[in-house]
A and B are shown apart, each in its own frame.
Chain A
Amino acid sequence: MNKQDLSALTIKTLHDKIKSKEIKFIDIIDSVINHIKTDEQKINGFISIFEQEAINQARQLDQKVDYNNLPPLTGIPIAVKDNICVKDKLTTCGSKILSNFISPYDATAIARLKNAGAIIIGKTNLDEFAMGSSTETSYFGATKNPINNDYVTGGSSGGSAAVVKYQGAISALGSDTGGSVRHPAAFCGVVGLKPTYGRVSRYGLVAFASSLDCIGPIGKSVKDVATIFNIIAGYDPLDATTINKPVTPISVDAGTIKNYTLGIPKQFFAQGLDTRIAKVIDNTIKNLSKKCKNVKEVSLPNTKYAVATYYLICMAEASSNLARYDGVKYGLRLDTKELKEMYEKTRDQGLNTEVKRRILIGTYGLSKGYYDEYYGTAQKARNLIKQDFNNAFKECDVIITPTTPTLPFKIGEKIEDPLAMYLGDIFTTPANLAGITAISVPAPELIDNFPVGIQITGPAMGEEYIINSAQAIEETVV
């Protein structure tokens, strides 16, 4: 095969080719860098690229690697969303306020990738502080969808999804607070996994909404996503909210879905869903029904309250988490005569309008006289949404829905209408509120050349079920 095309292969195939000495490490890096050279300028998926370092690391591996002891990601170039710390590299969060911030340490997920041999190829673009669903609000400009450059990538991990799509990296890490891994995966036609809350350490992930944030992998294939998940998952003493249970590595097997009952929630197929997407999902379910044990309708009656509940909670948590960006210790600082003025001016100039909007609403919802009415009520509604899932999973193993209610939209189309943008998260936010796991995988059919994301949701710690179901969809040929 042409060495230019190596970046189209899965992690496992590349690993096998390296092991059998059919290819060199530098061949993989060369292939990825070639794609970056061709596409990056028009896509704007990266904030930083570590080209020379990656070349040096690959050359070193070629010179002195022990072929009898090759960890699973040896020499595999991985891109990392720019809100996850990589030691001695910029971590900007797509914001002016952190545009000069260098990470003093590796996030636990990064340390685990490096231990498994990965080469970090660059840091990817995102909506500022991961607040957005289109990757348009970054201080470093919008990322464009590789499928059609006039359209958004979805967000907020749009840079990670885009560079995986154009093969500027073999896989990537994103973060998912309300859908930020699954949403851009759906819009860019790649696979994105949001693990169970607490399954992957948040140490070194810049906090947005701490009770919802989750690091998740993005890849070209379900197997790649599973490979990365197996490496980054597990207890971490540096994050007290990680689950202290052993991780059994998932070996992907679509055949196991013959034992699964698939749940279809009627509430997801109601008003607001593009009818063309509904039809694609219908076809997919028909195909799966031949392979699984049973398909049945389930009810998630409080889904329509998910967006309001999610935004009230995440904005409140964000207003508290982002209070640290005040110009005192690191990041941007504006010179002023007085301290209070320094805080206000630094935050005014350093943060964009969407981040300010969320800090303001979050502050309002937590302020005296409004706490019970907003934040307190949302916490109760969150409990109802979680109970809906508990009830549904008594009747089924996984839940199949669309990932997004619409196809990708044009750059600029929704940026002036924040509420319209928020409503695009209707199908992804419930899994974050409930703390459970969900994956987005491209449907076997396209609509007007655009991919359709199918979301499979599983119970807490149920990654194996959703990954196997996603594999069954990936293997479907229309």
Chain B
Amino acid sequence: MINQSDLEKIARLAKLGLTADESSKLTKDLENIINYFHEIKELELRNVSPMTHAVMIVLPLRLDEIKPFKCMDNYLPYKKFNYIFVPAVLE
């Protein structure tokens, strides 16, 4: 059902690097676990609506106003000159 190349595709989508050992163990785990999940297909769900949240709440709107927020500099280890630095995306 799920083979190594499926797993690699999912890992790419999830931006997750995997070692070779991990990748073969996880392929087996995923197969077992997803097989188990198939039991919910026994349920008659044609007339059931999906439940997206535990409580029905209308999301509140907030006023569009500026509120003071503490300087976060000390909590951002990769910040230089007011920017967060990452490796180059383009050559």
Assembled-state Cα–Cα distance A467/B74 (Å): 43
Residues 193 to 218 of chain A near chain B (Cβ within 8 Å): 197-198, 211-212
> In this assembly, does B40 line the interface, its C-beta being within 8 Å of a C-beta of chain A?
yes
CB pair B53–A360 under 8 Å, yes or no, is no
Known contacts: A363-B10, A364-B10, A377-B41. The answer to whether A344 contacts B49 by CB under 8 A is no
Assembled-state Cα–Cα distance A240/B58 (Å): 9
Report B89 CB to chain A, min CB distance, Å: 5
Interface size class of B (residues with CB under 8 A): 35 or more
Known contacts: A100-B77, A323-B15, A356-B26. The answer to whether A312 contacts B40 by CB under 8 A is yes
User: Given A339, A364, A376, which contacts B86 in the complex, CB threshold below 8 Å?
Assistant: A339
> In this assembly, does B45 line the interface, its C-beta being within 8 Å of a C-beta of chain A?
yes
CB pair A380–B48 under 8 Å, yes or no, is yes
User: Given A351, A386, A418, A435, which contacts B33 in the complex, CB threshold below 8 Å?
Assistant: A418
CB pair B14–A359 under 8 Å, yes or no, is yes
Report A262 CB to chain B, min CB distance, Å: 24
CB pair B55–A360 under 8 Å, yes or no, is no
CB pair A360–B84 under 8 Å, yes or no, is no
Report B6 CB to chain A, min CB distance, Å: 8
Tell me which residues across on chain A come within 8 A of B75, comparing CB atoms. 102, 104, 330
CB pair B53–A357 under 8 Å, yes or no, is no
> In this assembly, does B57 line the interface, its C-beta being within 8 Å of a C-beta of chain A?
yes
Known contacts: A100-B77, A419-B36, A435-B54. The answer to whether A339 contacts B88 by CB under 8 A is yes
> In this assembly, does B76 line the interface, its C-beta being within 8 Å of a C-beta of chain A?
yes
Tell me which residues across on chain B come within 8 A of A279, comparing CB atoms. none
Residues 52 to 91 of chain B near chain A (Cβ within 8 Å): 52-55, 57, 59-60, 70, 72, 74-78, 84, 86-89
User: Given A100, A240, A347, A422, which contacts B17 in the complex, CB threshold below 8 Å?
Assistant: A347
Assembled-state Cα–Cα distance A214/B45 (Å): 28
User: Given B17, B37, B39, B50, which contacts A344 in the complex, CB threshold below 8 Å?
Assistant: B17
Tell me which residues across on chain A come within 8 A of B13, comparing CB atoms. 363, 367
Interface centre among B16, B19, B36, B53 (most CB of A within 10 A): B16
Known contacts: A211-B53, A328-B86, A383-B49. The answer to whether A305 contacts B10 by CB under 8 A is no
Tell me which residues across on chain B come within 8 A of A183, comparing CB atoms. none
Nearest neighbor of B25 in chain A, beta-carbon distance: A353
CB pair B33–A348 under 8 Å, yes or no, is no
CB pair A339–B87 under 8 Å, yes or no, is yes
Known contacts: A339-B87, A343-B15. The answer to whether A308 contacts B54 by CB under 8 A is no
Report A100 CB to chain B, min CB distance, Å: 7
> In this assembly, does A333 line the interface, its C-beta being within 8 Å of a C-beta of chain B?
yes
Nearest neighbor of B57 in chain A, beta-carbon distance: A241
CB pair A357–B54 under 8 Å, yes or no, is no
Residues 100 to 150 of chain A near chain B (Cβ within 8 Å): 100, 102, 104-105
Known: A333-B78, A356-B16, A364-B2. 11 other contacts (CB 8 A): A197-B55, A312-B40, A326-B15, A329-B76, A330-B78, A337-B87, A338-B87, A347-B15, A353-B26, A380-B45, A382-B50
Can you name 6 A-B pairs with beta carbons within 8 Å?
Answer: A328-B86, A343-B15, A348-B17, A356-B16, A363-B14, A386-B51
